[in-house]
Amino acid sequence: MSADAHERAVITLEGVGQTFRSSDGSPVIALDGVDLALERHEFVSLIGPSGCGKSTILRLISGLLLPTSGRLSIYGKRVTEPRDEIGMVFQKATLLPWLSVADNITFPMKHKYGRVTAEEKRRAGELLEMIGLKEFGHKRPNELSGGMQQRVGIARSLLHDPDILLMDEPFSALDALTRDEMSFELLRIWSERPKTVVFVTHSIQEALLLSDRIVVMSARPGRVAEIIDVPLARPRTLDTLSDPLYNQLANDIRRKVFSRAPLEAGGEGVRA
């Protein structure tokens, strides 16, 4: 990234390292010297072998974890504590079964401030409509399919229209068809409400379909091995999936990932 682009960056990691202590007290170097700069409203995927520190990067950006070395800044300001204005979506929506779908969307506000404002309720209704679940606001989570629940999780993360959205394998628990559908849904939401998205996935295809850039990480200690620009035109549609360029890029990335992380060295966990 040029010096210019570095200045425009929303999220900047400079020489970021993260060392944990394992239960026997030995150090676990999860990340080592990670440099990364993400521009405003860019969609970036992190891909790499299991345990290379992808989730750790998300936790660092959210401020839930502070780096043991290096510097992480958002809008030029060093991150020193958890940030409210970041949306997070996980592999499982973890909805509260006793609350209605609408109340699940507003729950973080209820939990934090003890009340939900009329404006937040209105926003929740709007989000339900946006994710195609307008009629489901009064239902309980167990009345929804896995894909629908995951949509609710996304809506919950968008309640305060965060400028940054961190997504940790949000579709990995879904079947292949629902997964594709959710990817298109996410692209639609992202185009309607642009945000800087950092998306962790094990799927090269998913990363290609969604991203502007793909960050390929190396096996532990996690480092940025390569950053790949995705030259596929937007909007991305079903046609993108049959575009020869899409398949060629998938093959190129697969080769890169597996040449860096052959299976015996921890390359498991990255899927075509």
Contact residues: ligand ATP, CB under 6 A: 20, 22, 28, 30, 50-56, 220, 269
Alpha helices (runs of H) in the chain, residue ranges in sequence order: 3-8, 54-62, 101-113, 118-130, 146-158, 176-192, 204-210, 238-241, 244-260
Query: Omega of the bond prior to 262 within 30 degrees of 0, cis?
Result: no
Q: How far is the CB of 114 from ligand ATP (least distance, A)?
A: 30
Given the complex with ligand ATP, which of 157 and 218 has the nearer CB atom?
218
Whether 204 contacts 257, CB under 8 Å: yes
Given the complex with ligand ATP, which of 89 and 116 has the nearer CB atom?
89
Q: How far is the CB of 19 from ligand ATP (least distance, A)?
A: 9
Given the complex with ligand ATP, which of 28 and 96 has the nearer CB atom?
28
Phi/psi of residue 261, nearest 5 degrees: -135, 70
Given the complex with ligand ATP, which of 104 and 150 has the nearer CB atom?
150
Angle between helices 146-158 and 176-192 in degrees, nearest 10: 20
**Tokens 């849904």, residue located:** 185
DSSP code, position 40: T
Given strand 9-21, what is the order of strands in its sheet? 27-39, 9-21, 69-74, 77-78
Question: CA-to-CA distance for 175 and 172, rounded, in angstroms?
Answer: 8
Given the complex with ligand ATP, which of 137 and 153 has the nearer CB atom?
153
Q: How far is the CB of 217 from ligand ATP (least distance, A)?
A: 7
Q: How far is the CB of 25 from ligand ATP (least distance, A)?
A: 11
Q: How far is the CB of 173 from ligand ATP (least distance, A)?
A: 13
User: What one-letter code names the amino acid at 178?
Assistant: T
Alpha helices (runs of H) in 86-145, residue ranges in sequence order: 101-113, 118-130
SS3 59: helix
Question: CA-to-CA distance for 106 and 155, rounded, in angstroms?
Answer: 9
Question: CA-to-CA distance for 91 and 77, rounded, in angstroms?
Answer: 29
Q: How far is the CB of 9 from ligand ATP (least distance, A)?
A: 22
Whether 204 contacts 255, CB under 8 Å: no
Given the complex with ligand ATP, which of 54 and 195 has the nearer CB atom?
54
Given the complex with ligand ATP, which of 19 and 73 has the nearer CB atom?
19
Q: How far is the CB of 54 from ligand ATP (least distance, A)?
A: 4
